[in-house]
Structure 1
């Protein structure tokens, strides 16, 4: 139970930290020190996230939240997931530490920026530790919408145009991805990563191929995969 709860903490604590960071920095315009306290809090939060990830077990415990979208959100660990969760935590820790200096002379929209930095961290860890395609889909969608705020951060015409181009591609990609997952679930009767290899061998291969193409296009559009990367240079 404790090992499973650790997975839940890694995924969902950043969402709580995001709210706390917004509360800490909400009076930044009147009190510049509030912004400094928020920045330090976010860096420490990302450092704690990294420490928690380093304690993830390889025994493949499962953390599950039932009753979401008529199904479950499932998370688990193995060597592959731990490596990618650790890479994510390391990236966030060092980029937040650098961002404090980077934004030293810029104070506009920083409360929003730091809020979504932490929300995006939680969403990314949710993708890395997901135990099935539906959980990956839910957290990838959260990731798509939260990272939109990074693209439009400067709020120039170019940034906003790039942001909405990105958002349009992300939404279309999400719809295609969802269609692919619905087809795969229909033919394989499962979206669990552990069960899919055996399930697809017994399923209608034409449906599996069609769903695979939709999933590839959906994830590819969101990830900026060629030739679906038209939003990336602008962003």
Structure 2
């Protein structure tokens, strides 16, 4: 019998959001930052991971400016984003399959707004998960005391023991992730939760505090300072 094709690694960047919480004049992924743009820094880091077969950026069908903000990009682009992150990722997985990716290949889904990610952190995730039966994600143990809130007031203190803050990339087999997202529906906020809904337990790979998601106005100043002082 012929041997199955070798397993490959792909990156998928959902980039179809509008950045409503960022306070920017347009989508936050195109906001200027440390001599480039938010997504420009993200793609540069991913391009530094040599084991990646290809990098796919999934844009909104109405996005006509990506090429202007990321000139000379060396990635695949698909304008097939959906109304939610889950829909955008699912459409991106379909596009990867159309471009030759197989069900057993690994896909690393990474937020466009996590622009401080470093190639060595992504390599650490690949090293940890490449032989795992499920896959996994970068994450951080929660260090702060957690409060449950209602109407702006504390109603309970949440036990932080065993709590982790999910980051990206999140790394799963293409076939498994497609099936998980199909069954989980459009409202899941990350890929790991869709896989968890199938009764599976993704691996937690310790990340770093610097791999935060640029979300609020103050985040841009911090990200700019960190990028310029590397």
> With structure 1 as the length reference, what TM-score do the two structures score?
0.27
> With structure 2 as the length reference, what TM-score do the two structures score?
0.27
Report which structure shows greater RCO (CA 8 Å, sep ≥6).
Answer: 2
* Larger proportion of strand: 2
* Larger proportion of helix: 1
Greater CA radius of gyration, 1 or 2?
A: 1
